[in-house]
Amino acid sequence: MIRIIAQILLICTLMQTPAAAAEATALVDAIVQAHQSDGFQIRMLIRFTDEDGHKKLPFKVAVIGDRNMQQQRLLLRGISPQSIRNQGFAGISLNGESPELFSTTTPTEAVDAQKPLFGPGLIAWDLFTPWWHWQQQEIIGKDEVNTHTCTLIRSRNPASIDDTAGEVVSCIEVETLLPWRTQIFDGNQKLLRTMTVTSAIRTETGALAAKTMTVTLPGQGRSEINIYSGDEHYTIEPETFAALIGQKQEVTP
């Protein structure tokens, strides 16, 4: 009998009322809407320290992109050190599908968006935030991150493979639409990494955006990311996403 009661309680805990589901969807839609852009550029400095305390060589990367409700395109370019200056990757994500990423020097070469680029601590998949387009969104409670009271939203992708990202728990400050903490889990609910915003800036839309953040990778180490410059009105040239032309995903202006 106790086992049956426990199972019933578990089912009730996992069930989400239509009102709660609508609230989660509305919050996610507001986040996606607030971050739409015809063109933007940010430049970031990444410092990585492994679990033994060894610091890796810092590197700088420029991220250029555009995003709307249906798709997001990103171009990542190495800035420094010299060893990554000529490296570049262009990618697209349609309707929350897993991003397709290609080398700009060898456009036919597909790149795994869930693997580090340029150096440890920068994963392109995270920049696309595809989880906001997943069908399963639910509010699972409240939490606090660095004095910011947040609503916890769990995003799920039932189609994920065991070792790829399949669940994301975001701690969102409703008033500013900023996820102060984002935890990414694989298909077996193993924690892959935790992104925590440590400082933020306000964009022209009124929403907050991360200025500095840490990314903790269990068993590997921690990266510190500093966005040191940005342009909310960057002009996307026709050749910006040339590496995507001819790929199986259709790219629209």
The pLDDT value given to residue 96:
73
Domain carrying residue 179? 37-244
CB proximity list for 165: less than 8 A, separation 6 or greater: 114, 125, 131, 157, 184, 185, 186, 192
Q: Is residue 167 part of a domain?
A: yes
* Average pLDDT in the chain: 87
Say how many Å lie between the first and final Cα of the chain, rounded. 60
At position 78, the amino acid (one-letter code) is G
Residue among 211, 250, 196, 180 at smallest CA distance from 31: 180
Other CB atoms within a 10 A radius of the CB of residue 202 amount to 12
**Distance of alpha carbon 140 from alpha carbon 134, whole angstroms:** 16
Predicted TM-score (pTM) of the model is 0.85
pLDDT tens, position by position, 67-100: 988 889 999 999 999 999 989 999 999 877 889 9
Q: Is residue 208 part of a domain?
A: yes
Distance from the Cα of residue 191 to its chain's centroid: 15
The pLDDT value given to residue 246:
60
**Which tokens belong to 243?**
């590496």
Give me the number of domains the chain comprises: 1
CA angle 34, 39, 41 (to 5 degrees): 100
Q: Is residue 132 part of a domain?
A: yes
Q: Is residue 149 part of a domain?
A: yes
Q: Is residue 76 part of a domain?
A: yes
Q: Is residue 30 part of a domain?
A: no
Q: Is residue 12 part of a domain?
A: no
The pLDDT value given to residue 13:
39
Residue among 223, 222, 202, 220 at smallest CA distance from 211: 202
DSSP 203-222: -TTS-EEEEEEEEEETTTEE
**Which tokens belong to 145?**
């991150």
Q: Is residue 179 part of a domain?
A: yes
CATH number at residue 113: 2.50.20.10
Lowest mean pLDDT among 10-24, 52-66, 155-169, 232-246: 10-24
Please check the confidence at residue 205 and state whether its pLDDT lies above 80: no
